[in-house]
Amino acid sequence: MSSATAIHDAHDDHGPSKGIMRWITTTNHKDIGTLYLIFALIMFMIGGAMAMIIRAELFQPGMQLVDPAFFNQMTTVHALVMIFGGVMPAFTGLANWLIPMMIGAPDMALPRMNNWSFWILPFAFTMLLSTLFMNGGGPAAGWTMYPPLVLQTGDAFPFMILSIHMMGISSIMGSINVIVTIMNMRAPGMTLMKMPLFVWTWLITAYLLIATMPVLAGAVTMLLTDKFFGTSFFSAAGGGDPVLYQHVFWFFGHPEVYILILPAFGIISQIIPTFARKPLFGYSSMVYATASIAFLSFIVWAHHMFTVGMPTAGELFFMYATMMIAVPTGVKVFNWVSTMWRGSMTFETPMLFAIAFVFLFTIGGFSGLMLAIAPADFQYHDTYFVVAHFHYVLVSGAVFSIMAAAYYWMPKWTGHMYDEKLGKIHFWLSAISMNVLFFPQHFLGLAGMPRRIPDYSVQFTGFNQISSIGGFVFGLSQVLFCYIVYKTIKGGQPATDNVWEGAHGLEWTLPSPPPYHSFIEAPAVK
């Protein structure tokens, strides 16, 4: 450790510049990672506030708080903000912080691009959120932006398209950086099959991003030209086909789903071994499972559109392909359970979130399997059952993994232990309220409540009330999370270098907090 400290001291002279310019001009992977994470947290709270409006309106039947048009804007912008502003930047932030430290590199490979890819985001989201105040309101056609409905959007339309382009460019630049860093900057001896799983899952995610974000950009560009330049890619009147948009969108959209979950798999695969004090079970099968999920994600897109009237052969193909995804995903869950099996477990907050992830993500996986059965999907499709499904995989999946990661690595990042007691309170509040929030939505969907409706028949009242109460508690407990983060940054019990008794990996060999440039001299990897 003493050598690392010496490096730290020696490089103080070209450390960060002072004040706000440090953050605007930074090319440092840790600063940019921090910016990403804080941005994600802000977006998470903004998107969450929109969810609170949705749940408040749905607390009882009848329209009380907002108009149906505004309600649709809330569901649309909530999704866009959470996906592109919350989960994706959070994962990119984690990648920035952790990948160089995990592979023994001093920084990311392309630091200036790294700066751009972050600083595009605040502009993109300012633009997106500003549409809510425009004539005719924000986009209200759902985050999937299906034409012809989306073409009825008011002044917000070009702003929405442009902000999606910017988010796409940001993600693509971030991914290029991740790939180049992993491919070129590993410490000697760090072969691909020795990389921590978080690095592996991010590498695969980055390839998915590079392959799919341009397709989304293409799809929304076609929407733009359809609306303003007289093309008719998606308009039947000019010989186009609105269903074609859905194919192009979901060709992006399904891999996107895995972009939102693969890094989570990586995080969980780092955390469980640490607290089970036992190596990850089936490392190589985890890598292969991740790769096969990524591959399968490209050939299952049409399961989002079973009801558009595809030929039966198409429905059968997409049904079978979708069911196959359960196999590699199952392998991952079994591996995590086997890692816990006969370990010596302790249950600090990151581990609690990780166990909740395995449990709740798997429930989301089960409902996903049910949705894959095409004839049954004719009933489930576009109901609250689907809403419950994707919130189980995204909230108790992606978001819980990010929370777990935050608790797990925050002592390393800040040099301070977080408040374990508050962390546990935050966990139990989140985990319980999350289930109160989303579990009843399965019943609502099965009982026949369509999604994206601002008002509902009286028979759905009970479950909606339970769900809303869960929602409010979940929302409030995230305020506690913000406080815990703030408190940890400000101070707290100093963290040791290793932080956790069972932690292994290069990042734990660095001091807490780590030096401004992670590894000036490449560490030796056995």
Q: Which of residues 483-512 bind another protein (CB under 8 A)?
A: none
Q: Give catalytic status of residue 254 as yes or no.
A: yes
Answer yes or no: 320 catalytic: no
Among positions 419-478, residues that touch another protein (CB under 8 A) are: 443, 446-448, 450-459, 461-463, 465-466
Please identify which of the residues 26, 117, 153, 269 carries the catalytic annotation: 269
Q: Cβ contacts of residue 389 below 8 Å, gap of 6+?
A: 364, 367, 368, 371
Find out whether 380 and 386 touch, Cβ atoms under 8 Å.
yes
Contacts with another protein, 85-124, as mask; x by CB under 8 A: ----------------------------------------
Q: Which is nearer to another protein, 123 or 366 (CB)?
A: 366
* H or E, element range at 202: helix 197-228
Determine, following the binding rule CB under 8 A, whether residue 369 of this chain makes contact with another protein: yes
158 sits near another protein (criterion: CB under 8 A): no
Q: How far is the CB of 487 from another protein (least distance, A)?
A: 27
Say whether 451 is catalytic: yes
Which residue in 3, 130, 184, 346 binds another protein (CB under 8 A)? 346
CA gap 439, 346 in Å, rounded: 28
Smallest distance, another protein to C-beta of residue 195, A: 16
User: Is 416 a residue of the active site?
Assistant: no
CB of residue 460 vs another protein: minimum separation in angstroms?
8
Q: Answer yes or no: are the C-beta atoms of 106 and 518 closer than 8 Å.
A: yes
Active site residue 171: yes
Residues 184-203 that bind another protein (CB under 8 A): none
Helix (H), strand (E), coil (C) string for 149-183: HHHHCCCHHHHHHHHHHHHHHHHHHHHHHHHHHHH
| Structure tokens given for 357 | 């992830």
**Does the annotation mark 170 as catalytic?**
yes
Question: Is 207 noted as a catalytic residue in this protein?
Answer: no
Binding footprint of another protein, residue count (CB under 8 A): 131
Q: What is the DSSP string of 457-496?
A: -GGGHHHHHHHHHHHHHHHHHHHHHHHHHHHHHH--SBPP
CA end-to-end distance (rounded Å), the chain: 17
By CB under 8 A, is residue 314 in contact with another protein? Answer: yes
Q: How far is the CB of 213 from another protein (least distance, A)?
A: 8
* 308 scored as a contact of another protein (CB under 8 A): yes
- Cα separations in angstroms, 42 against 76, 89, 170: 18, 11, 18
Cα torsion angle, 398, 147, 50, 431, sign: negative
Counting contacts by CB under 8 A, is residue 137 touching another protein?
yes
Among 324, 422, 473, 525, binds another protein (CB under 8 A): 324
Instruction: Report d(CA 419, CA 192) in Å as an integer.
Output: 36
Of residues 49-88, which lie at the interface with another protein (CB under 8 A)?
Answer: 61-69, 72
Size of the chain in residues: 526
Among 26, 34, 92, 171, the one annotated catalytic: 171
Catalytic residues: 78, 107, 143, 170-171, 254, 256, 258, 269, 303-304, 329, 332, 451
